[in-house]
Structure 1
Amino acid sequence: MVGLRGAGFIRGQGAVLTVILPLVLAGCGAKEAEQAQVRPVRVAPVTFKDAHAARSFTGTIVARTEVQAGFRVGGRIAARMVEVGDRVKPGQTLARLDPTDLELSLKAAEARLAQAEAQAVQTAADLKRYTPLLASGTVSQAQFDRVKAASDAAAAQKREASSTLSIARNQRAYGSLTLDQGGVITAVLADAGQMVGDGQTVLRIATDLGREVAIDVAEGDLARLSVGGTASVALWADGDIALAGTIREITPVADPASRTFRLRVTLPADAPDAVRLGMTARVSFPEADAAALALLPSSALFHQGDRPAVWVLAPSKDRVLLRPVEVAAFRPDGVAVKAGVKEGELVVTAGAHRLDANLPVRVWDGGLP
């Protein structure tokens, strides 16, 4: 009887465990499911500053004007007097062509002019003799007209020969390559003994008309820049050199490959000699609008209907609040926000499209879950 009662007790205990154990397991599963719904979020603090003023652009020191120098006549280069890096003065001879053919052309033009002058003298004398004969009726009007036409033609040929001689003299002078502007030789594209055509580039010269910085800016930054605006220029090679520049030119059309606009920033005329062509420079522009902006990652932006918004971590640190914001500009490095968030607030920067106001969250510390 005792054994039977013991067995019954054990069976009763088993029945109780059978009922309680699923309830306990169900409670543990619910707790784990509740914990699994807490979503980690990555956040970043909001910091207002003059985001535009911090923008800088990298450019290259270039000459304001660069001349592609070549002979105005073709021929064989007899001598080249300059090398790359030489500084030249206005009117200095840079290269010279073989003058043989030019001298022969000049002598031929002189001979043609002498012949035309002699012909003009002869026909003028004939016309002078025929004039009184026409008045006396010794010669006919037709004979006089032929003599006069010959005299007029000879005078025209003389003028033509004189112009041809002037051209030949100019061409002989063109055998010496000179420039009206001084500068620095940046490239040599032809050497002595080489045949060149008229207008073919022989030397490339950066003139002394000034130095500039050429930079490329995105279309999002172009709206706040204009010709005549000021800029600050610093050299990468020498951080102690700081120059004030002025925007001289903005190309009206974007580059088809990079979709950027080329700007030319003029450097002051008294720039030190350390500012050399080809150096890398950093150009920054002061922002006229002093309104502070908060630069947020593009991944933080969320849209509430047709309005931009961001998720802000609540003071309790376990919920997020959807906050509409006013975007000042979309930039390559993020979104510039003008209003809607406060200094020091934590904004969700990853997974903004998977959040909900009722969803528990926790700040991700960077570790594994």
Structure 2
Amino acid sequence: MPTVFRYSRPVLVALTLGLMTTLTACSTDTAIPDSSADAPIPVDVIAATATAQQQMLRYTGTIQGAQRVPLSTKLMGIVTELNVETGDRVRKGQTLVRVRSENLEAQKRQVNARLQGARAALQNAKINFERIQRLYKQKSATKKAFDDAQTAYERARAQVEALNGQLAEINEMLAYATVDAPITGYVVDKRTEEGALAVPGQPLLVVETLDALKAVVQVPEADINRFATGDSVTVEVGAAGNVARRGVVTQIDPAGNYASRQFKVQVRLLRQNMGALKSGMYAQVLHPSGVEQTLTVPEEALVTRGQLTGLFVVKDSTALLRWIRTGEQRGNRIEVLSGLRQGERYITSISGRMRDGQPVRPR
């Protein structure tokens, strides 16, 4: 016979209450699906279309003054006077550096003394030649006397001319004992000090005009024929707050660098609100290279995840995250190089609730 358990009424009540508590706890731990999570979100959708865009080729360079002049001397000697510091404004003709020139001054005095004697000798030779010439015409002097007087006169004149040449050469060298500013501008580089040795051909100072600026860029040989003098270009300077200035190509070097195969191109910045531009800043020159069909999207349509950039395309009323490769920024639109095809629909503005696979409802 089966065993029959008999419980008293209090025990049955206790078992019933325990079972009800367990069922209540289990029903509380079970999550109720939130139907609002999959509710379609209204979004603005547009089809990707290619538009004609002016293509720009970029070349890197440096901002410089319109005139930049290294100053040196042909005279070797000690710098005895240096009147400027880096950043000083100088005017054209102002003496900036003096180099010791005592030896040249001594040579000049010697040549002047010899020249004075040579001029006296020339005067005597001239008087004697004119006297012999008159006697020779009167048949009172021999042909030999006339020739000797003429030779002495020409020799004295040649001696004076030679000494005058030496004096001019010394004066020219003495001119290099003082270094004057060839332009009005600023001292942008100081490479010597008082008491230092000045070496011929080695720059002592660099003077630059900063009232007018230019950009100097290196252009590869494959692109140099795109440039022509007078071309209008855009110059961008990131260090000056990403300012963009118009410029004009003023000079194209006819010969490139044999090692790098690049050509130097100079772009004069137009005189309009130079602002924070300074010589030495890194610059980019944008040169137009024709019109191409380009896909662009609004900047607010993009999402970033670390170093990845993407946007949400819409397919079958679902937002799908698509990673793309971007190019240049043109105003508030970004060029899309790959990852998006023409005609595909994408969301133009991303909200914080958007996720991959989110149901959407185009407005």
Number of equivalent positions: 263
Between the aligned partners of 1:271 and 1:207, the Cα distance in structure 2 is: 16
CA RMSD of aligned residues (A): 3.6
Match 1:142 to one of 118, 141, 144: 144
| 2: CA distance, partners of 1:254 / 1:103 | 45
For 2:96, give the aligned amino acid. Answer: L
Deviations along 1:144-201, one digit per CA (max 9) or x if unpaired, are 2101110121122222223333333333333110133222222223332233343332
Q: CA deviation at 1:126?
A: 1.7
Query: Following the alignment from structure 2 to structure 1, what is the Cα–Cα distance between the partners of residues 137 and 219?
Result: 85
- For 2:107 and 2:210, the matched residues in 1 are separated by 36
> Residues 248, 125 of structure 1: CA spacing in aligned structure 2 closer, same or farther, 3 A cutoff?
closer
Cα pair distance change 1:93/1:228, threshold 3 Å: same
Greater shift, 160-169 or 74-83, is seen at 160-169
State the alpha-carbon separation in 1 of the partners of residues 199 and 73 from structure 2: 8
Contact 1:181-1:208 at 8 Å conserved across structures = no
Partner of 1:179: 181
CA contact (8 A) 1:65 1:209 kept: no
- Structure 1 residues 87, 256: closer, same or farther in 2, change over 3 A? same
Residue 351 of structure 1 corresponds to: none
Paired residue for 1:343? 342
Match of 1:285, SS?
strand
Match of 1:228 among 230, 234, 241: 230
Shift of 1:226: 3.3
Instruction: Work out whether residues 127 and 147 of structure 1, in 8 Å CA contact, stay in contact via their aligned partners in 2.
Output: yes
Distance in 2 between the 1:90 and 1:195 partners? 25
Of 150, 153, 166, which aligns to 1:151?
A: 153
Pair 180,77 (structure 1): closer, same or farther in 2 beyond 3 Å: same
SS at the partner of 2:171? Answer: helix
Q: Is the 8 A contact 2:90 2:181 kept in 1?
A: no
Q: Which SS does the other structure have where 1:124 is aligned?
A: helix
Counterparts of 2:136 and 2:221, CA distance in 1: 84
Question: Could you say which residue in structure 1 is the equivalent of 2:120?
Answer: 118
- SS of the residue aligned with 1:94? strand
Q: Verify: 1:201 aligned to 2:203, yes or no.
A: yes
Asked whether the 8 Å contact 2:59–2:286 carries over to 1, the reply is yes
* Contact 1:70–1:201 (CA under 8 A) maintained in structure 2: yes
Amino acid corresponding to residue 64 of structure 1 in structure 2: A
Q: 1:129, CA displacement in angstroms?
A: 2.9
What's the counterpart of residue 212 of structure 2?
210
| Structure 2 CA distance for partners of 1:58 and 1:132, relative to 1, 3 Å | closer
CA distance in 1, matches of 2:114, 2:106: 12
SS of aligned partner of 1:201: coil
1:90 maps to: 92
Cα distance, 1:58 vs. partner? 3.9
Q: Which stretches in structure 1 are left out of the alignment for 5+ residues?
A: 1-44, 296-314, 317-333, 347-364
- Given that 2:210 and 2:279 are in contact with CA atoms closer than 8 Å, whether structure 1 keeps it comes out as no
The alpha-carbon deviation at position 277 of structure 1 amounts to: 0.7
Query: Could you say which residue in structure 1 is the equivalent of 2:10?
Result: none
Aligned to 1:280: 282
Q: Deviations over 1:85-111 (max 9, x none)?
A: 222211011100113223212211211
Please give the TM-score of this superposition, normalised by the length of structure 1.
Answer: 0.60
Normalised TM-score (structure 2): 0.61
Aligned ranges 1:255-270 → 2 under 5 Å? 255=257, 259-270=261-272
- Of 166, 169, 174, 2:168 maps to 166
1:108 aligns with 2:110: yes
